[in-house]
Amino acid sequence: MNLAFIAMRYDVVGGTERDLYELTEQLAARGHLVTIYCGQVRVAPADGVRVVKISIHGPGRIARLWGVARNGPRMAYAGGHDLVYAFARCLRQDIIRCGGGLHRTYLQDIRAFFSPAKEIFRAFSIYHRLMLWIERRQYAPGNFVEITAISRRVKHEVQAVFGHADDAFRIIYDGIDLDRFRPDGDASSPVRERHGIPTDATVLLFVGKGFERKGLATILEAMAALDGTDSYLLVVGDDQDTPTYQAQSRSVGIADRVVFAGSQKEVERYYRAADLFLLPSHHEAFGNVVLEAMACGVPAIVSRVCGASEVLTGILERGILEDPHDAIELKHLIDGMLDPDVHAACRAEAQRVAQGFSSEKNASAIEVQCDELIRSRT
């Protein structure tokens, strides 16, 4: 197959970016012709993958958004490919991958955090208004053939807004590198030593950027409510509002037990240092970090709105947070998951479940999808 993909960035940093990098690398290794049209190129192409920079006229994110949406499809369809797969918001494509949910729903879900001034800014922002217009065009009948939803939550979200029938969707969960994300003996010691965390302390872990959307404030409130002082929180990821959360940790009296570690290339070392992973997001299409943690044998607590909550079955359902705003509910879930018997059972089950979500399985599902769509045209 001769496949074209359209993306905002070609990179290995960021969930969508890494998904695309690994997917296209595997498809190329399987003998397919793979071309990626993208607005920004930040890493060298994987073996067998051709990367083409999209023509963008003007600086800034508005120019990039419009350039990718308009010129990406023009260049891809002019390239003579068998199929065009959009990993970005585009005006035309064969398959839409809805990997982050809808921008419209995202703005609604985080509106509770807006100050009046911020609400006015968002309402009149050219960037957000353009994003919403492109999104409506992208999902309009005739501008796509199929939608790939990375979770049932995403499918239902798109249906609630645009009303597409079930047969317009294919649910394909993301996959992760199971060779990279796995338990590794006593690999927790170097991370704990680096950050001055006692070897016998309980370590809670948060990984991500976009601290507000992912519920870090709720985690800090829950930490302050925990009994005792033997629990530490590792925060991995960068955010422009990090000083605000550092100030919050000081105001609730836990600054000495909260480590803001910044972005980490070897994040798997941090998973292995943790006892429990936390992602109480207010809006989350899936959350691959949940699978990464589980693959390392770390049980997770995630909010019900996270697409990843769909894979938490059996005893792992104890880790589903109904209200991402409720720090006391989160505190009780943490206490329950850290019960020695429950924790041991959850560690084993988390690793078992994660084994079913390999990047190879994800690539195979998309390979079948593309082949079926191309064959249906002949």
Rg (CA), the chain: 21
Q: How many CA atoms lie within 13 A of 258 on its CB side?
A: 24
Q: In Å, what is the CA distance from 295 to each residue of 272, 277, 290?
A: 10, 12, 9
* C-beta separation of 221 from 191 below 8 A: no
User: What's the predicted TM-score (pTM) here?
Assistant: 0.90
Q: Which helix (H) or strand (E) holds 201?
A: none
pLDDT of residue 106: 82
pLDDT of residue 14: 79
Give the span between the Cα atoms of 201 and 341, in whole angstroms: 18
In order along its 378 residues, the chain shows pLDDT tens digits of 999 999 999 998 878 888 999 999 999 999 999 999 999 999 999 999 999 999 998 889 999 999 999 999 999 999 999 999 999 999 999 999 998 888 888 888 766 665 666 656 666 689 999 999 999 999 999 999 999 999 999 999 999 999 999 999 999 999 999 999 999 876 668 899 999 999 899 999 999 988 999 999 999 999 999 988 799 999 999 999 999 999 999 999 999 999 999 999 899 999 999 999 999 999 899 999 999 999 999 999 999 999 999 999 999 999 999 999 999 999 999 999 999 999 999 999 999 999 999 999 999 999 999 999 999 987
pLDDT of residue 125: 87
Q: Provide the CA 135 distance to its chain's centre, in angstroms.
A: 19
What residue has token string 């190129």? 41
Q: Which residue type occupies 41?
A: V
Kindly report the CA angle at 359 between 356 and 362, in degrees rounded to 5? 80
What residue has token string 């199971």? 178
In the chain, where the domains are located: 2-175+358-376, 188-354
pLDDT of residue 186: 67
pLDDT of residue 188: 67
CATH code: domain 2-175+358-376 is 3.40.50.2000
Give the span between the Cα atoms of 193 and 107, in whole angstroms: 40
As given in the structure block, the two tokens for residue 223 are: 């930490």
As given in the structure block, the two tokens for residue 292 are: 């990464």
* C-beta separation of 81 from 59 below 8 A: no
Picking from 86, 116, 112, the residue whose alpha carbon sits closest to that of residue 370 is 86
* C-beta separation of 81 from 101 below 8 A: no
Topology of domain 188-354, CATH? Rossmann fold (3.40.50)
pLDDT of residue 357: 96
Determine how β-strand 83-86 pairs with β-strand 169-171: unpaired
